[in-house]
Structure 1
Amino acid sequence: MKFNRNKVLPAAIALVLSPSVFAQAQETELEPVVVTANRVARTADETLSSVTVITRKEIEQQQVQSVSDLLRGLPGVQLVNNGGPGKATSLFLRGTSDGHTLVLIDGVKVGSATSGSASLQDIPVELIERIELVRGPRASLYGSEAIGGVVQIFTKKGPQPLSISLSGGTRHTFEGAAAGGFGSPDAWLNLATSGFTTSGINARNNYTEGDRDGYSRNSGSVRGGGRIGEKLSFDLQALHTEGRNENDGSPNSSDVQQDVYGGNLRFVPNDNYSSSVRLAQSLDASRNFTNEKFYSRFDTRRSQAAWQNDVTLSKGHQLVAGLDYQYDEILSSTPYERSKRTNQAAFAQYLADLGAFDLQFAARHDKNEQYGHHNTGSAAAGYTFSPALRLRASYGTAFKAPTFNDLYWPGAESPDLQPEKSRSSEIGASGKRGDFNWQISAFRTDVKNLIAWAPAPTPADPYRWAPDNVSAARIKGLELGANQRFGDTKLAASVTFLDPKDVSGSNSKLLVRRARQSARFDIDQPFGAWSFGTSLNAVGKRYNDAANTVKLGGYATLDLRAEYSIDKEWRVQTRIENALDKRYETIDGYNQPGIGAFVTVRYQPK
């Protein structure tokens, strides 16, 4: 990426040294503990990764209605939406494709094996306890899909007082949720439920239907766990979401369903060793209709098993090793040549804490029934000069397995497709001084064997399209951010510079729908029983097509929020979304919501 040093570096230095804030969604007093980056608990600094943690407190403070709204504007994150609430939403993490981000719910991989991505729009925000976003490759620990990074969503768990929330607002939007748990560390149960409905907006411009395309969703979760004696513990989980989504075109409505079921058994015989076994299954299902007549069906069931062992070799030295198994099965009205496949994997990770110096190495071998064997690895190092300055560097390889659509779509079967492969390198620095935190990351990702669908006519079908491993991408980027408190005032800012290029042809082009610049700014200020906040999100121009001929203009949106604490248990919140009524598109021809106002009442005992 050709950065102009006279412009970018002074801007970076100014941001790092200024009293602004990076939206890490965490309290500055305590370093958050992260599980996703290393499959074991580590503080954010110890992970040697670029990490964002979004807590339940932040989720409620922002008053958003979707996971994509929570992630919007965070470093390296760009989002594309097909026309408003509940519509298909794509996450481009560090400029990689939507299918290059692994999504986990409570440790369970979710998503469609046909489309290759997860349905973030169908995950209920009110059932979420926290989110961990890890940027950079993690295939050496998780296997396929973790090229750009990993998003892990944790649902509510453990004994908690009953909490209730009711919301309503523009576009006939209503939401209600309740959650609570009881018990003790030896035996506990948590129950949560939520319902959401909106009349939505007209999803597509200049479309004959011209009506509002609504969305509704009902969700529930159950989590329980406890101990059996001193050395054995367990937890069980179940999440169910079902909804109705309206669209323009054909099909023009869908019944959607997301399920996650799992159980984990953990054995800890002493302070130096623990072993855990997890069994789980996820479901991603849709039934699609045109004018209420059946059109198509696509279901993905992923059965998963994992055995992980954490061994403390000596003080400051830890080994994490285990086995993963995954069985994908699709049930579809479309007759695929094959509808099942298995993946077996073994992984190992070494973590070393040598005082100011930290090291991490990881390796994984995947054996897939369809494409054979694949090896990935990563290495990272960090050095802490003082709390005000920590340096880190990392390198990792990753891959994305072809989807069933890529391999076996009727009429375009391509069973010899190979996985998409990547190599990523990153250097970063971070520091803390009082209530001021900052960090900067520079990275490069090269992806080859990218699968692209292109015209492949035959005499029998002159309009035939088919996939092939013909594309390549080179993505360079710079992420900057900081956070600061001035008394009760909390400020936050982040900026991402990106150079996402398709380098498969003779003339490189920008990758579809990726912007070169994006930024976010937040400020929150309490005044006694009141608190006020605002969020500004800005995204630069993009192109809607690979040839870079259809331009999507840059945009900025402003959200305003306020909260009033009636007493220790009751709060009233209000939020104005897109307060300046900015009109913009993230996909050519698809609308985004204009100004909207929402009110929420929360009951939550302390």
Structure 2
Amino acid sequence: MKCCRSRERPRGENVYVCQSAPDRSPPAVLSCRATPCRVARPAARGAAMHRKHILAGALALAGVTTAQAEDTGDADTEITKLDRLLISEGRTPVEAEKSGRAHTVIPGETLQQNRVRYVADALRMVPGVAVSRTGAYGGLTQLRMRGAEGNHVLVMIDGIEMNETSSGEFDFGSLLVDDIERIEVLRGPQSAFWGSNATAGVINIITKRGERNGFSTSIRSEAGTDGTWLGGLSMRGGGENYDVALSGLLRNTGGFNVSDYGTERDGDRNATMNGRFTVDLTPALSVDGTLRYVDRKSDLDAQDYGWGSPTYGQVLDTDDQVASRELFGSLGATHVAFDGALTQRLRFTGSDTFRENFAGGALTSSNSGARYNGLYQATWEFDTPSLLEARHRLTGGYEWERETFLPSHLTNKLARNTNSFVGEYRGEFLDQVSLNAALRRDDNDAFSDVTTYSLSAAWRIPGTDTRLHASLGTGVTNPTFFEQFGYLPTQFVGNPGLLPEESFGWDVGVEQGFFGGMLVVDLTYFNQDLTNEIATSYAGPLPTPVNLGGRSERQGVEVAATVDLFNGFTATATYTYTDATEQTVAGGPRLVEVRRPKHSGSLNTAYNFYDNRARVFGEVVFNGEMLDLDFSTFPSSRVRLKPYTVVNVGGSFRFNETVEGFARIENLFDEEYEDVLGYNTQGLVAFFGLKGSF
């Protein structure tokens, strides 16, 4: 058994004890990965029990259920289960208990154990998140956070921005759960760290890395009563100074008819491949890279916009399809100097997306978009023991980004560039108070320049199981290419003079442990506004986007509670109250925003037994009443969508060290509901499969 140290604490107090050979991540992230490592800490100042409770609080805030871990440590070594979970909530990672921002961490182990197939379904269990899927799996799936728009949430996978250049948002319909290490959900304005589109929050997904000094292979297959079949292969390995991971997944879903008309089933085919590597060239210098490819084709049912048609605005049973190919890659280097005090990062990322739309088998339109990003940042860490026992971390960085977009009706590619400068300070005081501040300047060549900022703090009250957290900041969302330059004959014309949407938000919360950490509750209040909101105006000869003069307002409460009875039973419950309104002109009337339920919640329970070889679980997702737009009238009118509750159950059994069987039933009570008006949703369906690990 070997030891590895955290480069985030080069002079630190903690000793990391690895269950296997050390598996080093890039120094800017974590030198000893969270999954295989556990922490052995000195019980200084009676802090051991206190920090254990803080860990439970971090998991409660995460709003997810985790299985009880097996104890494989030496009898003579005092080991505390993983209480140093790092999250990427800024320019540098921070331990979850020291973050002042509302966040949720979903471990990949939980996704695997609950047999979640789409990331969007896992995010339904997170407080502050609302998901809207247009019918079948593979259909357009939008995610809204704290009542904001879909393009106000930035989505990252392994450090690469996934939001499309055309719409500014990410379609979660393409994102399968495959080899994910963890999902970080960061709520509140984050543009000071991440730039445009991080107005309401960030979904940061980290995939699994390779295994140092070893090799493993995993194969799984699955079938479903809706005509689904799946095949997946994952390989991870490495040597003393490198690791490699490669995975592939092919899923074909027969689907169902999302329209109230006809009988045609709307299915989806999705092939996803993902790979990454890390090589330590020297003890101080490492390079890493990622590559991701997605090829999918989804059946659609289109809405009827033929003026005068008796079915105008309704979803018809059409033979429409959308096909897309997405390629993402990155290459980076990290150098550590002065005994870990100085960390420098250099990274380049790129993405290319090509999309085709078909009607009746004929190609009707297509578009392609690309994004290239270059980043350099340096972090200096130092301590001032005589001044509040403080630790400080200063970071400065520069980012360059170029985005391009080419729709099929144009011959010249559209392009825009952004140069960004960012600074961050992170401090820890008296081993109980954590502060974070950031400032960012975006210089845009296609619209106005923007400055954003962020502040946050957390206080772990000594001698208690209480943690206070608060944050405030600004966010920005740039106009999309289609909003600036789009053109549809007789239907739409873009507006190159649009201003970026801007937002200010804050939240404050308290996390409290009870009964020695068996129950932990987190309560957060949030408040956020939006100005310069972009909407379509019908005042001119053609509809065109404009910046509204009013102010959208969003406020609410997020609650997460976790129970761990330490006997194999765990449960997590969440509840969110959201009050989201929009205003088209300053001083004008306020309208409740569509597809934002005022009340939503979830319950997730699990029980491990039979020496952890068997597991059963249950999930309940509640979505309260909400409004949507009815396009069968002109102008469109607002209608109410009824509340719904969906129950999922499942289980797994490990036959031996190699083979595991699993099953999952979704929508157990065959609930009929709509996320989007006019689009049917999946009824009762069952899935079962096998997984082999070698």
TM-score bucket of the superposed structures, by smaller chain: over 0.9
User: How much has 1:538 moved relative to structure 2?
Assistant: 0.2
1:437 to partner: Cα distance = 2.2
Aligned pairs for 1:146-545 within 5 A:
146-159=198-211, 161-206=216-261, 209-249=262-302, 252-270=320-338, 271-315=340-384, 316-335=391-410, 339-355=414-430, 356-386=432-462, 387-410=464-487, 411-432=492-513, 433-458=516-541, 464-470=542-548, 471-486=550-565, 487-504=567-584, 506-528=588-610, 529-545=613-629
> In structure 1, how many angstroms separate the alpha carbons of the residues matched to 2:67 and 2:192?
30
Shift of 1:66: 0.7
User: By how many angstroms is 1:102 displaced?
Assistant: 0.3
Separation of aligned partners in 2, 1:567 and 1:446: 54
Q: Shift of the alpha carbon at 1:604? A: 2.4
Equivalent residues in 2 for 1:582-593 (5 A)?
A: 582-593=671-682
Per-residue Cα deviation, 1:495-528 (whole angstroms, up to 9, x for no partner): 0011011133532121111010100001111231
- Structure number with bigger Rg: 2
Return the structure number with greater strand share.
Answer: 1
The one-letter amino acid paired with 1:346 is F
Change (3 A) 1:579 1:32: farther
Which residue identity is paired with 1:244? K
Query: 1:569 offset after TM fit, Å?
Result: 2.2
- Cα distance in 2 for residues equivalent to 1:560 and 1:263: 41
Deviations 1:452-490 (A, max 9, x none): 1132342xxxxx211111153100010011111122110
Structure 1 residues 31, 509: closer, same or farther in 2, change over 3 A?
farther
Correspondence list, 1:5-44, <5 A: 23-26=63-66, 29-31=81-83, 33-44=85-96
Alignment check: 8 A CA contact 2:67 2:570 kept: no
- TM-score (norm: length of structure 2): 0.81
Cα 1:404–1:22 change in 2 (3 A) is closer
Give the partner amino acid of 2:676. I
Residue 556 in structure 1 maps to residue 645 in structure 2: yes
Instruction: Compute the displacement of 1:26 (Å).
Output: 4.9
TM-score of the pair, normalised by structure 1: 0.92
Distance across 2 between alignment mates of 1:168 and 1:32: 38
Q: CA 1:518–1:587 in 2, change beyond 3 Å: closer, same or farther?
A: same
Question: Which of 160, 168, 171 is residue 116 of structure 1 equivalent to?
Answer: 168
State how far apart, in whole Å, the 2-side matches of 1:409 and 1:251 are.
25
* SS class of match (1:125): coil
SS state of the match for residue 178, structure 2? Answer: helix
- Deviations 1:298-325 (Å, cap 9, x if unpaired)? 2111111111111103351101220111
- Counterpart amino acid of residue 256 in structure 2: I
Partner of 1:55: 107
Task: List per-residue Cα deviations over 1:435-461 (Å, max 9, x = no partner).
Answer: 322211101001011101132342xxx
RMSD across aligned C-alpha pairs, in angstroms?
2.0
**Aligned twin of 2:5:** none
* Structure 2 unaligned blocks of 5 or more: 1-55, 69-80, 303-317, 385-390, 631-635
Give percent identity, aligned residues only. 24
Equivalent residue of 2:532, what SS? strand
What is the aligned length?
581
- Structure 2 matches for 1:120-135, cutoff 5 A? 120-135=172-187
More divergent stretch after superposition (349-358 vs 535-544): 349-358
Shift of 1:434: 2.5
Aligned-partner SS, 2:495: coil
CA contact (8 A) 1:329 1:339 kept: yes
2:67/2:568 contact within 8 Å kept: no
Match for 2:224: what amino acid? G
* CA distance in 2 between partners of 1:457 and 1:379 (Å): 42
Shift in Å, 1:134: 0.7
Residues in 2 aligned to 1:554 and 1:158: alpha-carbon distance in whole angstroms: 43
Give the Cα separation in 2 of the matches to 1:224 and 1:144: 28
1:401-435 superposed Cα distances (whole Å, 9 cap, x missing partner): 00011111125121111010000011011133423
Per-residue CA deviations over 1:312-346 (Å, capped at 9, x if unaligned) read 03351101220111110112203288610011101
Deviations 1:569-605 (A, max 9, x none): 2111111000000000011000110000000211125
Q: How far apart are 1:32 and its partner, in Å?
A: 5.6
SS in structure 2 opposite 1:406? helix
Please say which of residues 95-104 and 151-160 is displaced more in the overlay.
151-160
